[in-house]
Amino acid sequence: MNSNLPLEKEAGGSELHPSDNEVSASQQHGTVPSQLANAEPLQHGAMATYALVDGEASIISANPEFSRLLDIDAECSQLSFLEKLEQRYPENANELASALSDTNSSTIELQITSNEHCRLNIAAIDSDRRLVVLEPIKSGHSEIEHVKLSLIDPLTQLGNRRQLDIFLESWQSADGKQVAALMLMDLDRFKIVNDTLGHGIGDTLLKVVAQRARRAIRDDDLIVRLGGDEFVIVHTNKDQSSGSVEKVAKRLVEMISRPFLVDGHQIGIGTSVGIAVLGDETKNVADLMRHADLALYESKSKGRGTYSFFEQTMEQNALRRRDLETSLRRAIGLKQFSLVYQPQVQLSQGVVTGFEALIRWNHETLGLISPMDFIPLAEETGQIVSIGEWVLNTACKEAVKWPEHLNVAVNVSPVQFESESFVNSIQDALTISGLQPNRLEIEITESVLINNPEAVFKQLEKIKEMGVSIAMDDFGTGYSSLSNLSNFPLSKIKIDQSFVRGEQTEKSRALVNAIIALGVNLGMDTLAEGVETQDQYMQLANDGCKAAQGYLISKPLQAASIEKFISDQSFNSVKIDP
């Protein structure tokens, strides 16, 4: 028996008091153990339930609730408690007889009604008396119901990971005549909801997403929530066609992309889906989840809000990505990183005003690796923080060697802003290198302003107070609103090269002119990226754009070539014929 039953007040009520029968038992046989006075009730509001039984297994005393639940007349002192229980619970007869005769404590589980289970905790008070406490099983569910509950996600009421594991372990493909697919679904932009509206709204949103996803799939598909904002759908198809899998994936993407209304908030999210089809390139059930996860990564790489089927090349890419991650951790120590610098010029006179620092990785066996390949990986793994500090320190040390009128621009990842030491790392780079703060420009993308904008604003303000300039890179390609331009301490807008290098239509020119006008009205400079032709250069100059960079002016230069580029008068002022 549990000898340490809780001594607590009933929730919302007063202390439990013994009934008249309990008092008489105390008077006749000494003090009833204090833990009885507060034994947990079988139902909310019910009294503690217990009895005293003598050496002949007859009831000495029992409180009314005990007698009622077990259908025993407490006034009949000659009634054999054991005989009565054996009549009602024949399957427990031997166990009961042994427990009532033993001097050791024991516990027996009984089913009182179809919906109520309890435990009889039996302990010897002395050689002649036994204390029997009727203790509820708190959930009040049958064993079958317990198993069901263990397979359900309590928030969404969908299946959980355990249910998925059991299903996959027992599922068979009927000798290949049945096609099965596993769809791994991850919500896009869900973290922003939690960060801006709170986890309460986030939980409610997950419930609504679960309902909508349930409507998007077939009745005989299994859907479970793995945890967080990840869901899994197991799809079986008896007509041996994978076409229905794609239909379900399309419906999921389309339905989850529709706006949600949660507690008065209109919320726009989306979903990315990865699909692995058994019998296709996935040969066994054990690989379904792993392959679906690789396909999900592919969907996110495409820009989210889509679905992808697993292909063998994804596994090869994953292995390469893992090797790159390992190599990335060693790259700084092995001095495999270097910086190149692309000149920036003032459009009206062609005068060089500074350089943008661009990182390069020369791998020991793979050769030159594009930043497009390793920067996203560095951001995923958090290594971008140490890499970013290296870039900042190196760029400042190089720039301090240049003439004082030339600046250096350094790109900063959104992940770096999540580090509390980011502002200090800028100050340290300036202090160690001796570079004047007004010669350093930090380039951020619009995505920096999305996550935790209040904290980012404070960091940008501190950077501005140092005297460091802040430029908005790739403007027009992200999520920023005009309010961000006016509210945040920005000094320059960089027009993304896609607006410059693309087909020059009336709409594209109107967009570029609008960005230039916006910069003028907000007191910010504008710089166009990707200038490759003389026509582009002249058009931007005529439209009022302040500065430009691109292959027409110069390709990125090695650090060793900077001094010659600066000293060569023919390059110090870039000549563009009208």
- Taking only the tens place, the pLDDT of each residue in 463-494 is 999 999 999 987 766 555 566 677 788 999 99
Distances (CA, A) of 381 to 326, 373, 377, 422, 524: 11, 13, 6, 17, 34
Higher per-residue confidence, 167 vs 302 = 302
Reference 339, options 419, 393, 412; nearest CA is 393
Residue 44 to residue 86: CA distance in whole angstroms: 28
Placement of tokens 């967009």 in the chain:
511
* Helix, strand, coil % over all residues of the chain, rounded to 5: 45, 25, 35
**Fold agreement (20-136, 332-572):** no
> Which pLDDT band holds residue 35 (cuts at 50, 70, 90)?
very low
Angle of helix 93-101 versus helix 81-88 axis, rounded to 10: 160
Which residues touch 17 (CB under 8 Å, ≥6 apart)?
Answer: 37
Reference 7, options 33, 31, 26, 25; nearest CA is 33
Mean pLDDT on 536-544: 91
Asked whether the predicted pLDDT for residue 548 surpasses 90, the reply is yes
Residue percentage of the chain with pLDDT more than 70 = 78
Q: What is the chain's mean pLDDT, rounded?
A: 79
Residue 469 to residue 494: CA distance in whole angstroms: 13
- Concatenated DSSP letters for 310-325? --HHHHHHHHHHHHHH
Q: What is the largest CA-CA distance in the chain?
A: 119
pLDDT attached to residue 510: 86
Q: What is the CATH number of domain 20-136?
A: 3.30.450.20
Strands 407-411 and 367-369: unpaired
Asked whether the predicted pLDDT for residue 184 surpasses 50, the reply is yes
Provide the 8-state DSSP code for 63: -
Would you tell me how many other CB atoms lie within 10 Å of the CB of residue 125?
Answer: 14
pLDDT attached to residue 244: 81
Rounded to an integer, what is the distance from CA 62 to the centroid of its chain? 55
Mean pLDDT on 283-293: 86
Mean pLDDT on 232-259: 82
CATH 3.40.50.150 fits 332-572, yes or no: no
Residue 234 to residue 168: CA distance in whole angstroms: 9
pTM of the model: 0.61
In CATH, the architecture of 151-310 is: 2-Layer Sandwich (3.30)
Record the tokens describing residue 381, joined without a space. Answer: 């793994």
Mean pLDDT on 391-414: 95
Domain boundaries, the chain: 20-136, 151-310, 332-572
Would you tell me how many other CB atoms lie within 10 Å of the CB of residue 195?
Answer: 14
> Which pLDDT band holds residue 73 (cuts at 50, 70, 90)?
low
